[in-house]
Chain A
Amino acid sequence: MNIETEKIRTVPAISRIDIQKFVFVVVSVLGFIWAWNYLDMSVLSFFDDLSNVANLFKRMYPPDFSGMQRIINAMLETLWMALLGTALAAVLSYPLALGAAKNTTPHPYVRYLCRSLITLTRAVPELILAAIFVVAFNPGPFAGVLAIGLHSIGMIGRLFADAIELGNESPREAILAVGSTRRQTTRSAIIPQALPSMIATVLYRLEINIRGSSVLGLVGAGGIGIIVSESLESIQYKPALAAVSVLFVVIVCVELASTAIRGSLLGDAANFGRQTRQGFFTRRATMRNQRLNEKAARTRAVTPPWTSERLFRVGLGASFGFLVVVAIFSVDINWWQAVLDTPRINIVLKQLFPPSFGGERSGIFKGILESFAMAVVAAVLGISLALPISVAISRNINKSAFLAKVYRLLVLALRAVPELIVAVIFVSAMGLGPVPGTLALTTTVIFFSAKLFGDAFEEVNSAPREAVSSVGASRAQEFVSTVIPQFIPSFISTSFYLLDVYFRSSTILGIVGGGGIGYLLIQSIRVYQFDVTATIVISVFLMVLVIEWVGNWVRGLYR
Chain B
Amino acid sequence: MTKVFSASESDAAVKVTSLSKKFPNGTLAVDNVSFVVPRGQVVAVLGLSGSGKSTLMRTLNGLHAPTSGSAQVLGTDISKTSSKELRTLRRQVGFIFQQFGLVGRMTCIENVLTGALGSLRGPRLGVRMYPVALRREALSHLERVGLLEQAFQRADTLSGGQMQRVAIARSLMQHPKVLLADEPVASLDPESSTQILELIASLAREENMTVLCSLHQVELAKGWSDRIIGLRSGQIVLDAMSQAISMETVMALYKNDGKDEPSQNMQSSQKLDQMA
Q: Which residues of A contact B (CB under 8 A)?
A: 1, 3-4, 8-13, 273-275, 463-464, 466-474, 476-482, 484-486, 488-489
Q: Are A477 and B95 in contact (CB under 8 A)?
A: no
Binary CB contact string for chain B from 94 to 135 against chain A (1 if under 8 A, 0 otherwise): 110101111101110100001111111011110110001001
Residues of A within 8 A of B143 (CB): 1, 3
Give Cα distance in the complex from A39 to B135, angstroms.
46
Residues of B within 8 A of A464 (CB): 101-103
Give Cα distance in the complex from A467 to B163, angstroms.
13
Q: Are A480 and B127 in contact (CB under 8 A)?
A: no
How many A-B contacts are there with CB distance less than 8 Å?
A: 119
Give Cα distance in the complex from A486 to B99, angstroms.
16
Q: Which residue of B lies closest to A270 (CB)?
A: B276
Query: Closest CB of chain A to B274's CB: distance in Å?
Result: 11
Residues of B within 8 A of A4 (CB): 136, 140
Cβ-based interface call for B89 (8 A) = yes
Give Cα distance in the complex from A439 to B3, angstroms.
58
Residues of B within 8 A of A11 (CB): 127-128, 135
Which residue of B99, B103, B118, B132 contacts A485 across the interface (Cβ within 8 Å)?
B103
Interface residues in B126-164 (C-beta closer than 8 Å to A)? 127-128, 132, 135-136, 139-140, 143, 148, 152
Cβ-based interface call for B46 (8 A) = no
Q: Are B139 and A8 in contact (CB under 8 A)?
A: yes
Q: Are A466 and B97 in contact (CB under 8 A)?
A: yes
Cβ-based interface call for B244 (8 A) = no
User: Of A10, A275, A464, which is in contact with the most chain B CB atoms at under 10 Å from its CB?
Assistant: A10
Residues of B within 8 A of A467 (CB): 95, 97, 100-102, 114, 167, 170
Interface residues in B234-259 (C-beta closer than 8 Å to A)? none
Q: Are B114 and A468 in contact (CB under 8 A)?
A: yes
Q: Are B132 and A10 in contact (CB under 8 A)?
A: yes
Q: Are A12 and B114 in contact (CB under 8 A)?
A: no
Cβ-based interface call for B18 (8 A) = no
Query: Closest CB of chain B to A269's CB: distance in Å?
Result: 12
Subset of 30 A-B contacts with CB under 8 Å: A1-B143, A3-B143, A4-B140, A9-B152, A10-B132, A10-B135, A10-B136, A11-B127, A273-B268, A273-B272, A274-B272, A464-B101, A464-B102, A466-B101, A467-B167, A468-B114, A469-B90, A470-B93, A471-B90, A471-B94, A471-B115, A471-B118, A472-B86, A472-B87, A472-B119, A474-B117, A474-B123, A477-B124, A478-B117, A486-B103
Range of interface residues on chain B? 35 or more
State whether A473 and B101 are in contact (beta carbons under 8 Å apart), knowing that A3-B139, A8-B139, A10-B132 are contacts in the complex.
no
Residues of B within 8 A of A273 (CB): 268-269, 272
Residues of A within 8 A of B119 (CB): 472
Which residue of A275, A477, A478, A484 contacts B122 across the interface (Cβ within 8 Å)?
A477
Residues of A within 8 A of B118 (CB): 471-473
Give Cα distance in the complex from A524 to B88, angstroms.
70
Give Cα distance in the complex from A467 to B181, angstroms.
11
Which residue of B89, B117, B128 contacts A477 across the interface (Cβ within 8 Å)?
B117
Q: Are B103 and A482 in contact (CB under 8 A)?
A: yes
Q: Are A481 and B123 in contact (CB under 8 A)?
A: yes
Q: Which residue of B lies closest to A478 (CB)?
A: B117
Q: Which residue of A lies closest to B176 (CB)?
A: A471
User: Of A13, A467, A474, which is in contact with the most chain B CB atoms at under 10 Å from its CB?
Assistant: A467
Give Cα distance in the complex from A482 to B111, angstroms.
9
